[in-house]
Structure 1
């Protein structure tokens, strides 16, 4: 299962350094140097304001360092690019399904949700799995989701018999 945050568009390490994904080593290095100066806590001392608290500046500085460590090395960059490509394929190949479109089966302790895949098999998720992801499933017929904690906006569920996936859209009634 692949989770997507509330902002399903996540910032990549290329975004952190403000470079294109096909940027050369020299472009990445130059952008890193500029970004590290713009985010270094010692350089910004006394410039903290209400719009960007100190801890956010430190987080940005650490992200710039992480981006350089990953993208500045040819081997780790290749691994990162492959992971980035794979994560994008998960979202590009998924059909969007709302929880109301799934068939529910209540065994008493666990509520199992099914969706029929194009191959004929079923894609499923149960109330225990949803609970582990921060959702409480209430009611068999209405299938209302209650947020337990910060939770994703969607979950990608693969079919066990073929390569197809669905993206289960999770709308909560907080």
Structure 2
């Protein structure tokens, strides 16, 4: 369960806030909580707060991301967007236009301290998260399984070991940042260390690019990954497999792989939470006289007694024949709904016998019909 605070709460907004309200709230909070405006002992706390309000603005200012958040909350946003994708496209610069801060916020993903990137090589950025959709049957979802998935992803280049430089070549110190990997951006009371755009934070410039990866440090390959799908998953469930996303540049940590589950519709069963529902047809005579019927379950057929006089629509419970709970809390049940089948294509002899039975029936044989007719008589007398 997500521990993130509500984005509207972070910006002190109501859920019907307009885009102008969102911009205004972010601007006010950003200026108050910027790390360079607090004492040194409170800088770390301010950095976290600044990152939090900026993330809230990045989502709520984007109509598509906002719609996903309003419907599914943090889980929906985190499932669809990586941490970098959340900030991508956010218009930070226009909010601070006229204040001299626009250029600073244009590169909000480029390596500021406030987003955990400053002082660290931009080439060491975390790799992208990947998504993969898996179709499973209801039987597989109920019991769990291992599934092999094939994904394409970026891996460190074998030729240059991820450096991006041609083997045997030498790098030179970056002239723009003088080898520090960072340049200072100042405007008014803001002074922020930004990743050097020339060397991307490494402090050195590649003189000869690797012929295999063309300086990226990574090449795209195909990998087979065994995924353990636990019992009890349902459509919309997602599994996070740490470290199976794309490799980061410059030795940055790997992203994660998110496996999205889709449980295919079953020909016989319907699922409701951990229970399953099944319609079982029985003959007219069995419903009247009683008997035993074979009931399909996720684990094979079982015998079930049908009491004499069973009406169509009657539901029986078969305990412990449902889906395993995804959290390990036991197992659901199967609910069997009786469908009394009216005979068709009768022979002349069968019709004669049924007519003979009908003639012999009294009011007590059909209590529901008698009750219904009594009600009709009372209403229309």
Is the TM-score greater than 0.5? no
RCO higher in structure (CA 8 A, sep ≥6): 1
Q: Please, what TM-score do these two structures have when normalized by structure 1?
A: 0.42
Between structure 1 and structure 2, the one with the greater Rg is: 2
| TM-score using structure 2 length | 0.21
